[in-house]
């Protein structure tokens, strides 16, 4: 249970008073916290004790901070600090965001108008263009990792989250996993080449994922599905991309989506 991990009012690392738990997965917890020295609300993400037994989980966690801190775009969730809790677990301090992710938006409201979906995805493209210029490939783009908040002027602002399985394609920092057998990413959004080998992908896999996201945002469903990852991989590799039937789509919209989803 979450309450066994951290409690509201608890002070972590001597300076973060927990307000509430925002989310918990198998490996980590994200809490809203008050920075006692700065008087600022932040999001604090840290690993669970059991995750500390897996070096790859720790490396993936630290990789998120390394990748995000290099990016200056307003469309990336900003990393403020990193550190280690008394338990030895690493933590990341991130800007606190008010809003919902696009997966939640879909569940609440159903498919989005085409121009709204295009606006949101173009904002994500701003962040990815910078990441790709630094040879960082996200590898896990999906609606749940696109967070919808508000900018200073009140306009909708999309931020790309979770660079935890990002990969540097060149340079000295090898962010790729050592275990080639690990399936990294969310299968429904993975390109044919990523389903074959997560280690060998480049920026084009992020473009594929954006195509899947855009397809889903306007239709409410992903272009490819299967009862198992094997069936899904075969459909992605071999089946033609289903036609996209959307009312009030501007000329060229479907062609742009299908261009993202080119198998070759």
Two structure tokens written together for 56: 């790859």
Cα angle value 64/69/74 (rounded, 5°): 105
Which residue, among 89, 193, 185, 95, has the nearest Cα to 145 in the 3D structure?
185
Which residue, among 188, 128, 202, has the nearest Cα to 163 in the 3D structure?
128
From 101, 140, 162, 206, the catalytic residue = 140
- Let me know: does 131 contact 164? Beta carbons within 8 Å: no
Q: Is 140 a catalytic residue?
A: yes
Give the residue ranges of DSSP H helices in the chain: 55-69, 102-109, 114-133, 192-196, 203-219, 229-238, 253-260
Two structure tokens written together for 110: 């159903």
Number of other CB atoms surrounding residue 45 within 10 Å: 23
For residues 185 and 194, give the distance between their C-alpha atoms in angstroms, rounded to a whole number.
9
Q: Which residues does the annotation mark as catalytic?
A: 140
């Amino acid at each position: 249970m979450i309450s066994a991990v951290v409690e509201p009012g608890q002070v972590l690392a001597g300076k973060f008073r927990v307000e509430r738990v925002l989310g918990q997965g198998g490996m980590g917890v994200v809490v809203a916290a008050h920075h006692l020295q700065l008087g600022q609300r932040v999001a604090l993400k840290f690993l669970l004790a059991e995750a500390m037994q897996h070096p790859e989980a720790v490396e993936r966690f630290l990789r998120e901070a390394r990748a995000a801190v290099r990016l200056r775009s307003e469309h990336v969730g900003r990393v403020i600090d990193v550190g280690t809790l008394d338990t030895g677990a690493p933590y990341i301090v991130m800007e606190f965001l008010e809003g919902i992710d696009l997966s939640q938006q879909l569940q609440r409201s159903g498919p989005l108008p085409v121009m709204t979906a295009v606006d949101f995805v173009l904002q994500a493209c701003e962040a990815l263009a910078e990441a790709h210029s630094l040879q960082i490939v996200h590898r896990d783009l999906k609606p749940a990792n696109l967070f919808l908040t508000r900018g200073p002027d009140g306009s909708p602002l999309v931020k790309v989250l979770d660079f935890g399985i990002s990969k540097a394609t060149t340079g000295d920092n090898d962010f790729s996993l050592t275990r080639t057998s690990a399936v990294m990413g969310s299968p429904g959004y993975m390109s044919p080449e990523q389903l074959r080998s997560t280690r060998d992908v480049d920026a084009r896999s992020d473009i594929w994922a954006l195509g899947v996201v855009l397809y889903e945002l306007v239709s409410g469903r992903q272009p490819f599905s299967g009862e198992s990852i094997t069936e899904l991989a075969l459909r992605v590799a071999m089946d033609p991309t289903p036609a996209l039937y959307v009312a009030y789509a501007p000329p060229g919209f479907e062609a742009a989506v299908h261009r993202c989803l080119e198998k070759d």
